[in-house]
Amino acid sequence: MKEARDRLGASSSRFGTTRINKEQIHRLREAEYTAYQRYHIALEVLLNQVMGANALVDELREDVREVIAPNLHEGDDGIDESIIRLSYGTDLEICEPGTRVEILTRIRNWADDANHSQQIFWLNDAAGTGKSTVATTIAKEWQGQGRLGGRFFFNPNVALDQDIRRFCRIVAYDIASNHPQLAPSINSILIASPEDTMDFAMQFVRLILDPLQSLSSTTTAAECRTQRTADGAKDQALADQ
Could you tell me if residue 31 is inside a domain?
Answer: yes
Same domain, 139 and 204: yes
95 and 203 assigned to the same domain: yes
Domain that holds residue 126: 81-240
Q: Is 153 helix (H, G, I), strand (E, B) or coil?
A: strand
Residue 156 has pLDDT above 60, yes or no: yes
Question: Residues in the chain, how many?
Answer: 241
Cβ pair 225, 111 in contact under 8 A = no
* Strand blocks (E) in 81-223: 148-153
Q: Are residues 49 and 103 in the same domain?
A: no
My answer on whether 49 and 158 are in the same domain is no
Cα distance between residue 109 and residue 98, in whole Å: 17
Tens-digit pLDDT profile for residues 220-240: 434 545 455 444 444 444 444
62 and 85 co-located in one domain: no
- The tens digit of pLDDT for each residue in 73-103 reads 444 444 566 667 778 888 889 999 999 999 9
Query: Rounded to two decimals, what is the model's pTM?
Result: 0.59
Question: For residue 236, what pLDDT is reported?
Answer: 44
Co-location of 196 and 134 in the same domain:
yes
Look at residue 182 and tell me if it is in a domain: yes
Residues 137 and 235 in one domain: yes
**Number of domain units in the chain:** 2
Which of 6, 33, 68 is a domain's end point? 68
Does a structural domain hold residue 226? yes
Domain co-membership, 63 together with 113: no
Which residues have a Cβ under 8 Å from the Cβ of 183 and sit 6 or more positions away? 70, 71, 176, 177
Residue 47 in any domain: the answer is: yes
% pLDDT > 70, the chain: 67
* Statement to judge: residues 142 and 63 lie in one domain: no
Write out the H or E segment, with its range, that includes residue 227: strand 224-228
